[in-house]
Chain A
Amino acid sequence: GAVVSQHPSRVICKSGTSVKIECRSLDFQATTMFWYRQFPKQSLMLMATSNEGSKATYEQGVEKDKFLINHASLTLSTLTVTSAHPEDSSFYICSASPVSGDYNEQFFGPGTRLTVL
């Protein structure tokens, strides 16, 4: 149980385009979903926390107009990188916390590698 999927797993796009990444909890309902990004050889950096039906809470330094997060249901959150630029190239990982159970639990998706040309 507690499986989280992400789609796509890899995406290459041209500078200036927008990219949408989906994060789904497959066998549980997630009150909260988290979006991280990770640059090579660096640790995870939390970008934002999203709760179903409400606006996401962004970490300091993360542009909310550039990284649009929609948590429309208890099993789906999306991250849209708008007007992507090469510096946005990174590994984007989502995680989800179940509605029931320990609030601390986070289950990670497999990640999406974004390359902006």
Chain B
Amino acid sequence: GQNIDQPTEMTATEGAIVQINCTYQTSGFNGLFWYQQHAGEAPTFLSYNVLDGLEEKGRFSSFLSRSKGYSYLLLKELQMKDSASYLCAVTDSNYQLIWGAGTKLIIKP
């Protein structure tokens, strides 16, 4: 079966750095997405990786290793508004999006 694993919940301190991991086992791979979702709102796009390596976009970076079936989302200089759920999603060989259950990130002052 297809599976995406990410931690259920993480806690970090304002101003710090946090890394949210995602591992996947899917039938084929055509890219990995990270989305941010605030409570009661729709997801918003953060990043897309299809090749190995690190993609940096401001305070957020996303890393992919296809051979390991692994990705992480790195958030720097954490702000209170970063408190949200972070969803990892993988596009499989049929271009279906497979969603992880999301990681709830709690930022403390």
Q: Which residues of A contact B (CB under 8 A)?
A: 34, 42-46, 91, 93, 103-104, 106-111, 113
Cα distance A93–B45 when bound, in Å? 14
Q: Which residues of B22-44 are within 8 A (CB) of A?
A: 30-31, 33, 40-44
Q: Can you list 18 A-B contacts (CB < 8 A)?
A: A42-B101, A43-B99, A43-B101, A43-B102, A44-B99, A46-B96, A91-B40, A93-B42, A93-B43, A103-B95, A104-B31, A104-B91, A104-B95, A108-B43, A108-B45, A109-B42, A110-B42, A113-B40
Which residues on the B side are within 8 Å of A107 (C-beta)? Answer: 45
Cβ of B105 under 8 Å from chain A = no
Most chain A CB atoms below 10 A, which of B48, B97, B102: B97
Contact with A along B81-103 (1 / 0, CB 8 A): 00000010001000111011110
B interface residues with partner A (beta carbon < 8 Å): 30-31, 33, 40-45, 48, 87, 91, 95-97, 99-102
- Given the contacts A104-B48, A110-B41, A113-B40, A46 and B97 also touching, CB distance less than 8 Å: yes
Contact call A44/B44, Cβ cutoff below 8 A? no
Q: Give the docked Cα–Cα distance between A42 and B104 (Å).
A: 11
Query: With the chains together, A52 CA to B71 CA distance in Å?
Result: 34
